[in-house]
A = this chain, B = another copy of it.
Amino acid sequence: MAAKDKKTEQHIIDTAMHVFFTEGRLHATTQDIADAAGVNRTLIHYYFKSRDQLFDAVFEKARLESIREAQSVLGAALPFRKKIEQFVDVLLKRLETYPYLEISMTTSMHNGQPFRDEVPEIFMQQFLQEVAQEMNKGTIQRATPVHFIMNLFSLVIYPFIVKPLNQHLFGLNEQEYEKIVKERKTVIMNTLFN
């Protein structure tokens, strides 16, 4: 019902992304997704042959989007700190749309989901060099460069992953947690940079 302006196949993928990555229902059935998309369950098989192949299509799209976003920021000609700041923005924005994306991809990997040709290696190498330069300049903590990236991702993503757990742990309601999230960007930048 919902969508005739976009092609049905794409509509199903988008719905699945929402179910998986926004609602976090990684184990939604094909019926669940069909219901959410307002289509007949069989249609999913018509387009994707099997549940697994729908998964593949969804993860592939998510992966490509992530890479594209990362490259558009990290590949730009900007000062390092500015670049990281924008990247944190991009990540946070994405996490607001798809809070369960990272955890889903990680979880699904345990279940045999194979890796696809990932971030262009050269791209990663270049960025690691840029990080190394900053360490030499003394603007960030000196260490094996991968640690900086690990720290970055950890600080941004993890609190989203464990949101319900944290809310409970710290006794924060939805509103209060929202406030904390809003502060994260500044905290993260201060944590990453000397």
Contact = CB atoms under 8 A, between A and B. Distances in A.
A110 interface: yes
B147 A25 contact: no
Contacts of A25: 110
Chain A binding site: helix, strand, loop or mixed by DSSP?
helix
Given A153-B158, A155-B155, A169-B119, A183 B107 contact: no
Given A158-B153, A162-B102, A170 B24 contact: no
Interface in A10-64: 24-27
B100 A103 contact: no
A91 interface: no
A110 B141 CA distance: 36
Contact of A107 (B103, B121, B150, B166): B103
Interface of A: 24-27, 100, 102-103, 105-107, 109-111, 115, 118-119, 121, 124, 128, 141, 143-144, 146-147, 149-151, 153-155, 157-159, 161-162, 164-166, 168-172, 180, 183-184, 186-187, 190-192
